[in-house]
Structure 1
Amino acid sequence: MTTNKVDFSAVRWGSVEWTNLCTLYLRACESRLAQPVLGDHAAAEAVDRIDYDFKRMHRASQPWANQFLVGLRAKQLDDWTNPFLTRHPDAVVLHLGCGLDTRAFRVRRPETVDWFDVDQPGVVELRRKLYDDGPGYRMIGSSVTDAGWLDEVPTGRPTLIVAEGLLMYLDERDVRELLQRLTDRFEHGEIDFDTIAPIGPKLSRLFSNGMVKWGISDMSAVERWIPRLRLIDRVPAYANYRTIPLAPQRLLLGFFNATLAGRYDVLNQFRF
Structure 2
Amino acid sequence: MSRHIPSLGAVQETLLIPLYGRAVEHHQPEPALRDPRAVELVAAIAYDFGRFDALPSLTGSVLRTVLFDAWTRDFLDRHPTGTVVEIGTGRGTRYERADNGRAHWFDLDLPDVIALRRAFFADTPRRRMLAASVTEEAWLDEIAQRAEGPWLFSAEAVLPFLAEEAVRQLLRRLARRFPGALLALDTNSTALVGAQDGHDALSKVAARLRWGCDDIDVLTDWVPGTRILGSHTLTSLPHAVHAGLPTPHRRMLDDLARQRLPQVEQYRMHLVQLP
TM-score tier, shorter chain, comes to: 0.7 to 0.9
Task: Give the aligned residue type for 1:128.
Answer: R
**1:51 CA displacement:** 4.7
Q: State the secondary structure of the residue aligned to 2:184.
A: strand
Shift of 1:6: 5.0
> Distance between the aligned counterparts of 1:231 and 1:120, measured in 2?
28
The 8 Å contact of residues 5 and 45 in structure 2, kept in 1 or not, is answered as yes
Q: Distance in 1 between matches of 2:267 and 2:177?
A: 28
Q: Which amino acid aligns with 1:231?
A: I
1:197 matched to 2:185? The reply is: no
Alignment of 1:195-234 (within 5 A): 195-204=187-196, 211-234=208-231
Compute the displacement of 1:111 (Å): 2.7
Contact 1:11–1:17 under 8 Å retained in 2: no
Specify which of 52, 65, 71 is matched with residue 61 of structure 1: 52
Q: Does 1:123 align with 2:113?
A: yes
Offset at 1:237?
2.8
Tell me if the contact between 1:100 and 1:127 (Cα under 8 Å) persists in the aligned partners. Answer: yes
Gapped runs of 5+ residues in structure 1? none
Match of 2:139 in 1: 149
What displacement does 1:170 show?
0.7
Instruction: Choose from 29, 33, 47 the match for 1:34.
Output: 29
202-211 or 153-162, larger mean C-alpha shift: 202-211
CA contact (8 A) 2:107 2:130 kept: yes
Q: 1:203 to 1:106 in 2, by over 3 A?
A: same
Provide the rounded CA distance (Å) in 1 between the counterparts of 2:33 and 2:259. 19
Indicate conservation of the 8 Å contact 1:164/1:194, yes or no: yes
- Equivalent residue for 1:176? 168
CA distance in 2, matches of 1:259, 1:148: 41
What SS class does the counterpart of residue 96 from structure 2 fall into? helix
Equivalent in the alignment of 2:85: 94
Scaled by the length of structure 1, the TM-score of the pair is 0.85
Q: Where does residue 41 of structure 2 map in the other structure? A: 46
**In the alignment, structure 1 residue 187 sits paired with structure 2 residue 179:** yes
User: What is the distance in 1 between the residues matched to 2:208 and 2:215?
Assistant: 22
Deviations 1:8-56 (A, max 9, x none): 23547x94444323321221110111211122232123334x0525xx4
RMSD: 2.8
- The higher relative CO (CA closer than 8 Å, separation ≥ 6) is in 2
- Alignment match, 2:3: 7
Q: Partner residue of 2:71?
A: 80
Distance in 1, Cα, partners of 2:97 & 2:259? 26
1:85-140 alpha-carbon deviations (Å, 9 max, x no partner): 11001211111011111011111x23321100101100111111111111210111
| 1:230 counterpart letter in structure 2 | R
Quick check: 2:82–2:148 contact (8 Å CA) kept in 1? no
Q: 1:202: Cα distance to partner?
A: 2.0
Ranges in structure 2 where 5+ consecutive residues have no aligned partner: none
Q: TM-score, normalised by structure 2?
A: 0.84
Q: Is the 8 A contact 2:235 2:254 kept in 1?
A: no
Cα distance change, pair 132–27 in 1 and its aligned pair in 2 (3 A): same
Native 8 Å contact 2:87 2:155 kept in 1:
yes
Post-superposition CA distance 1:232-257 (Å, at most 9, x none): 1111034457846548x927962586
Q: Report whether the alignment pairs 1:265 with 2:262.
A: no
User: Counterpart amino acid of 2:216?
Assistant: M
Residues 259 and 51 (structure 1), Cα distance of their counterparts in 2 relative to 1, 3 Å cut: closer
